[in-house]
Amino acid sequence: MHPSRAEDFILRKAVEFTPRGALQNFFRKLTEGKTVTVAYLGGSITAQHGWRVQSQQWFEEQYPQATVNGIPAAIGGTGSDLGVFRMEHDVLAHKPDLLFVEFAVNDVGTNPENLIKAMEGIVRKTWKANPETDICFVYTMTFRESQTLANGTMHRAASVMESLADHYDIPSIHMGYQAALLEKEGKLVMKSDEDTIKLSRDEPIETTNSVSVPIIFSKDGVHPHPDTGHVLYTQALIRSLKQIKDKTGVSPHPVMTPMREDNLEGARQYPIDPKYLSGPYTDLRKAGETNFAKEMPQLFRLEPGATLSYKFKGTGVGIYDLLAYDSSEVEVTIDGETKKRTRMDGHSTNQRLSKFGISFDLEDTLHEVTIRVLDTKLDKREILYESKRGDYDKNPEKYAPHYWFPGAIFIVGEMVE
């Protein structure tokens, strides 16, 4: 019986690397000088010009006879619950040979049951598309988890992911473990505005005695400096991969019995057919808007009074949309039950990609959804975090519009015409 509830998960002992099933298919192709594709699925830490870019450079340098294509599939501020719906478009369409999954930081507050559903969906989707694609879970950290990690314990999200890695025999690397130990010994500062020394990817810190002055890991305690925190992440990755790079041989990954039968393997992303729309709206792609075009082939701007209505059969439904300064309140009706949601939050001084989760605990039957844009005049300054209100005070006209920006429909199931 596998764990499925929060109380069933035990916090794991902190280790840098657990090899499990290795990455033999990927390294075999590298050794043979073939073309390989590495997909990097994650949040803002992976989206940075950091460990993602540095690791691809290392692959290219170690295997100059091979061609290494990197697929940046990371979106800041998002977790595995959006990642699982993005798989086909952002990852699997590129036919990766290796998939790194980095969501532990953004999933830190996610309910363990939902975390397993999403992460298991990512794994099963990948191996259903190609059983020879290798997967590696990578964990990062923030200043909030570093002390716990240095004292020998992974946080909840990483611990939950480890249970899934055990089940599917997936290697995992905690790229922040050494940095946490350096902080504990006074050799590293997680969060500071001060200037910092630069580290070399090719000169690993073998002992803490080799650090003459404290390393500044990051400015905000979350997003590492490319020349320090990200270098430490890359070094941890390289140390770990060197231990398994010689384990070669074709070995399709078996898709065994799931940990949770209700995992999100069936999560799908559907385009928004204009016939689902009514009232005043603009097709922003036809209007020439290119913002988020890579992630969203479609993007609509709905004005107050406009609606999006559709039917589906399945157990879950949501929308791929934007959280934004010029967004509005919407009214969601599913199977006759109505609730209101605001598509702006405390961070919304810009526009950013988001998953608008409507409901993911439905009976597997036919459902009807209608989302209507309301004309509620939101107090947007009050919605913003205090640290963000300066932007509102300087640009109040920027916040005046009240729109909604849907880009795709998320369903665990299938659309019904």
Instruction: Please tell me the class of the 6-242 domain.
Output: alpha beta
pLDDT band at 22 (very low <50, low <70, confident <90, very high): confident
Among candidates 73, 70, 71, which has minimal Cα distance to 41? 73
Q: What is the mean pLDDT of residues 241-262?
A: 86
Domain extents in the chain: 6-242, 271-416
Tell me, what DSSP letter sits at residue 10? P
29-60 pLDDT, tens digit per residue, is 999 999 999 999 999 999 999 999 999 999 99
Tokens describing residue 147:
């002390």
Instruction: Please tell me the class of the 271-416 domain.
Output: mainly beta
Examine the pLDDT at 360 and tell me if it is beyond 90: no
Give the C-alpha separation, 11 to 154, whole Å.
6
197-208 pLDDT, tens digit per residue, is 888 888 877 645
pLDDT at 357: 86
pLDDT at 8: 63
Examine the pLDDT at 142 and tell me if it is beyond 60: yes
Give the C-alpha separation, 367 to 313, whole Å.
6
**Which amino acid does the sequence have at 271?**
P
Ordered DSSP codes for 242-269: HTTTT--S--PPP--S-S-TT-GGGEEE
368-405 pLDDT, tens digit per residue, is 999 999 999 999 999 999 999 999 999 999 999 999 99
Q: Say if residue 313 is exposed, middle or buried (CB neighbours under 10 Å; 0-12, 13-18, 19+).
A: middle
159-178 pLDDT, tens digit per residue, is 999 999 999 999 999 999 99
**Strand segments (E) across 117-257:** 134-139, 172-174, 188-189, 215-216
301-356 pLDDT, tens digit per residue, is 999 999 999 999 999 999 999 999 999 999 999 999 999 999 999 999 999 999 98
Q: pTM for this structure?
A: 0.93
pLDDT band at 1 (very low <50, low <70, confident <90, very high): very low
